[in-house]
Amino acid sequence: MIVPFDKLHEECGVVAVYAHPEASKMVYLGLHALQHRGQESAGISASDGVKIRTQKHMGLVVDIFTEDVIEKLPGTQAIGHTRYSTTGDSALLNAQPIMVDCNKGQMALAHNGNLVNAAELRTRLEREGSIFQTSSDTEVIVHLIAHSKEQTLEDAITDALRRIEGAFSLVIMTNDRIFAVRDPRGFRPLSMGRMNANEILRKDAIVFASESTAFDLIGADFERDVKQGELIVVEPEGIRSRFYAPAQPMKACVFEQVYFSRPDSVVFGRSVATSRELMGRQLAREAPVDADIVVAVPDSGVPAAIGYASESGIPFRTALIRSHYVGRTFIEPEQRVRDFGVKLKLNPVRSMLEGKRVILIDDSIVRGTTSKKIVRMIRQAGAKEVHMRISCPPTIASCYYGVDTPRRKELIAANKTVEEIRNFIGADTLSYLSLEGMKIACGEGEQVSYCDACFTRNYPTDFVEIAEILPAAASND
């Protein structure tokens, strides 16, 4: 088994398509564009107006959805989900969309985010007789909708939405409608797009996706973001919007800009590529160093490295090459090769590094283990000095809003000073971007305001583990 890179992991991507003759194919393409948001399982539910059918499996979107599988998903509307497990284990049982037949009819639901009061709600629902099929927090939403005393499905959905707390960007489908929802703080992104009227249905197709890059692939135009606390209903009569809860202060996940989203996406109204380049420029102003070349840890460190190089005037060099063909498992030689996992994915260009003072840019350090190996690799390729620069502040706390973070005791910055981390990874110098610098680069205050809890422990919701808000040393068991 190849150990994945030492990164935080985005948990899910969602897509929905309404009024398209090849809805499930469009959702498949959208999920393919969102594959970076989760690689464990993927699923599509499609409705032909009478019945909802679902196909979900473990694995990558292209491997799961062959022509044969897509053919089993007829209809003009569909929703899809790609998953990296957060709450609940990674079994197929927890794959989404989750489909139910209840007293309010048939529906399928796909969720990006994480509920912070799921355990409490689940205990209550189980006491009242609910039988859960999965360990996923998303199923709590389904049970709340089914149990609601409201008469219509739409009212039952809004009733359920008012009871859940945390991060949720949702797409819900019935036989003839699609609902798109964002939580009142807007933690996770969700955008709406439109495709010109097709010849068969003679109306515009409406599309929702976690990131706008999904629209590009299917030829949809970005229309707007779903707003905080908003429920958009797309139905045969048209599109309606209602606010099921008053908006809270906005807490968009800043890590979407730092690392999770694709650079070709516009997220929270902002180009991710621009944010990352500005983070690199800001880092160059905050943490300059005399050096010969700027090198990125590919791929995610590249825009920040370009920004750092432009601002500092030090040339950018592609001196680390990434292999894009490494699967999840790999046969390792019996004779142990040092740093084998990292070497499989990255290889240094010796001719560019030999005798050079290198500024190495990455977007984050989580446990520090991968950074240590990369620094060693660059030194072994002949670099004279390695100055590590990180385009966000130290990650000191876990996330409860839909991102897979290690426990705090495994986060190196929760337990070591910057100098101790520098020593651990073996760099000559180490600097992080300041919190203020990161927020400025990501456009804080111009339409968007960010969650920064994994950098500050200022959690915007209740229901957070006490150990996470105490000083690290106190909980270092």
Binding residues for ligand SF4, per CB under 6 A? 187, 253-255, 399, 401, 403, 451-454
Decide the pairing of beta strands 98-102 and 105-115. Answer: antiparallel
Contact 104, 144 (CB under 8 A): no
Please identify, using beta-carbon distances, which residue of 401 and 424 lies nearer to ligand SF4: 401
Contact 49, 93 (CB under 8 A): no
Q: What is the DSSP letter of 248?
A: P
230, β-bridge pairs: 243
Please identify, using beta-carbon distances, which residue of 65 and 400 lies nearer to ligand SF4: 400
Helix H or strand E encompassing 10: strand 9-10
As measured in angstroms, the least distance from the Cβ of 252 to ligand SF4 is 8
CA 210 – CA 199 distance, rounded (Å): 27
Rg (CA), the chain: 23
The b-or-e profile of 233-248 (16+ CB within 10 A means b, else e) is: bbeeeebeeeebeeee
Please identify, using beta-carbon distances, which residue of 242 and 407 lies nearer to ligand SF4: 407
CA 25 – CA 422 distance, rounded (Å): 48
User: Which residue in this structure is represented by tokens 């660059």?
Assistant: 378
Residue of 434, 154, 417, 419 whose CA lies nearest to 286:
434
Determine phi and psi for 424, rounding to 5 degrees: -65, -45
- Sequence-distant (6+) residues with CB within 8 A of 258 are 276, 279, 363, 364, 391, 392, 438, 442
Quick check: helix, strand or coil at residue 451?
strand
Helix 418-425 and helix 369-380: axis angle, to 10°? 50
As measured in angstroms, the least distance from the Cβ of 405 to ligand SF4 is 7
Neighbours of 293 (CB within 10 A): 18
CA 89 – CA 112 distance, rounded (Å): 15
CA 103 – CA 75 distance, rounded (Å): 23
CA 295 – CA 297 distance, rounded (Å): 7
267, β-bridge pairs: 270
As measured in angstroms, the least distance from the Cβ of 166 to ligand SF4 is 10
102 among known catalytic residues:
no
Considering 12, 399, 442, 451, which one is annotated as catalytic?
Answer: 12
As measured in angstroms, the least distance from the Cβ of 470 to ligand SF4 is 17
As measured in angstroms, the least distance from the Cβ of 254 to ligand SF4 is 5
346: left (phi over 0), alpha (psi -120 to 50) or beta: beta
The whole-angstrom distance between residue 32's C-alpha and the CA centroid of its chain comes to 14
Please identify, using beta-carbon distances, which residue of 188 and 387 lies nearer to ligand SF4: 188
As measured in angstroms, the least distance from the Cβ of 403 to ligand SF4 is 4
Decide the pairing of beta strands 450-451 and 252-253. Answer: parallel
Residues in the chain, how many? 477
Catalytic residues, by residue number, are: 12
